[in-house]
Amino acid sequence: MTLSNATFKQNPHSLLVVPGPIEVSDAVLLSNASASVSHVSPDFVQIFKKTLSMILEVLYAPQTAQPFVIAGSGTLGWDLTAANLIEQGELALVLNNGYFGDSFQDCLETYGATVEKVQAQLGHTVTPDQLATHLEKAKSEKKSYKLITITHCDTSTGVLADAKALAEVIQKHSPQSLIILDAVCSVASEEIRFEKWGLDMVLTASQKGLGCPPGLCICVASERAIKVFEERKSRPGSYYASWKKWLPVMKAYQSGSAAYFATPPTNLITALLTSLDSILKSSPSLEERFELHKKSSDRIKKAVDGLGLKQVPVNPGSSAHGMTAVYLPDGITPAEVVGKMSAKGLVIAGGLHKDVKDRYIRIGHMGITAVDKERGDVDRIVQSLNESFKDLGFQAS
């Protein structure tokens, strides 16, 4: 029996609503089970070519921007940034909203950057005003940042930075700096306007808003970023993450031929194309998709409010739409809530931020969970949350 999308159904399982990996459609999983193809075959070249082009579309990036799709996790995106765009001793500025800002700094330092940071307090994001003040001071001290990193949604706390406004501030006060957006937990669940916002690098992974299994690192670099790379004096600090190796490969596949540096993960790329097809070519539109993420998010956050619980993001306007992080009432542990939810067939996540790790839970609602109402995932999340807290003897005050 050969399977079509119509007949394949994934195995029954608990509903996965952590902030990635996320629920994946049957069609995407079936693509991930495609029979082996040669990575240089005409069929796969077309699959990869389309995938690279559609990644640009999801980000509203111009066709002059350079996409990279590489076997690796989202973490590899930091190496792709740092190993190619920083040379020994150059200055980088990290807008640090949490766990992932710390890690990006660590990665930049590995490749020789001197890193400064603007630190947001727990539950906050760095604001455009804070950044403007910092950059004005830096200018007066004759400091110049080679690049500035923004964590869009910090998955550790669910805060969402105002990437558009931050990018504007950078363009005004530090136009020479490359603008790097860590969008692992926001691509395809939050609006990102690569060209309009003047971004130079967006990095993400396959297992969040893009609705695929994990295993792909996905980046888009601006023409300006590629030029900065091409003019670097030293060799890139990494071998596997070197654009010197990857640029000819990506350009070949983009132009409809094959080139080799490392065997591309053919099945995952085929799965990604299926997901991109559904994101870009079917209803809802990309704009509607972002709206549906907001609506689903609002429903879950309203339920949290209804329970009288506090969210980790302090300002509702700086809260991600693909996940919700919630402080627990005194006397209730993350393990207890995770356990109750699990008994109801839902998998949620505990805390990650070191300062409050044992005091909050995280719920993911990206991709089909947020967009496909017929699945009823958001209903299940809301209902199970209410029941779980009731089971734990907690009453909204």
Q: Which residues are annotated as a binding site for substrate?
A: 362
Site string for its own copies, 81-100 (x = CB under 8 A): -xx-----------------
Taking the complex as a whole, the smallest distance from the CB of residue 65 to its own copies amounts, in Å, to 23
Counting contacts by CB under 8 A, is residue 142 touching its own copies? no
- Helix ranges, 201-358 (H): 223-230, 243-254, 266-281, 286-306, 334-343
**Are the CB atoms for 126 and 167 separated by under 8 Å?**
no
Taking the complex as a whole, the smallest distance from the CB of residue 365 to its own copies amounts, in Å, to 14
Taking the complex as a whole, the smallest distance from the CB of residue 214 to its own copies amounts, in Å, to 5
User: Which residues are documented as binding site?
Assistant: 362
Among the candidate windows 57-65, 103-111, 285-293, 297-305, which touches its own copies by CB under 8 A? 103-111
**Are the CB atoms for 108 and 82 separated by under 8 Å?**
yes
Counting contacts by CB under 8 A, is residue 7 touching its own copies? yes
Q: Report the C-alpha dihedral over residues 327, 333, 337, 342, rounded to 10 degrees.
A: 130
Taking the complex as a whole, the smallest distance from the CB of residue 388 to its own copies amounts, in Å, to 17
Paired residues of 22 in beta bridges: 17
**For residue 128, is the peptide bond before it cis, meaning its omega torsion is within 30 degrees of 0?**
no
What does the alpha-carbon distance between residue 374 and residue 5 come to, in Å, rounded to a whole number? 18
- Residue 393: CB partners within 8 Å, gap ≥ 6? none
Among the candidate windows 205-213, 225-233, 318-326, 372-380, which touches its own copies by CB under 8 A? 205-213
User: How many residues of this chain interact with its own copies, rule: CB under 8 A?
Assistant: 69
Counting contacts by CB under 8 A, is residue 333 touching its own copies? no
Counting contacts by CB under 8 A, is residue 267 touching its own copies? yes
Helix (H, G, I), strand (E, B) or coil at 288: helix
Counting contacts by CB under 8 A, is residue 320 touching its own copies? no
What does the alpha-carbon distance between residue 360 and residue 379 come to, in Å, rounded to a whole number? 21
Counting contacts by CB under 8 A, is residue 213 touching its own copies? yes
Paired residues of 311 in beta bridges: 326
Of the candidates 189, 266, 274, 318, which one interacts with its own copies according to CB under 8 A?
Answer: 266
DSSP state of 261: S
Radius of gyration for the chain, computed over Cα atoms and rounded to the nearest angstrom? 21
Taking the complex as a whole, the smallest distance from the CB of residue 8 to its own copies amounts, in Å, to 7
Q: Which residues bind its own copies (CB under 8 A)?
A: 1-3, 7-13, 16, 18, 20-24, 29-30, 32-41, 71-76, 78-79, 82-83, 106-107, 110-111, 205, 207, 213-215, 217, 235-242, 260-268, 347, 349, 352
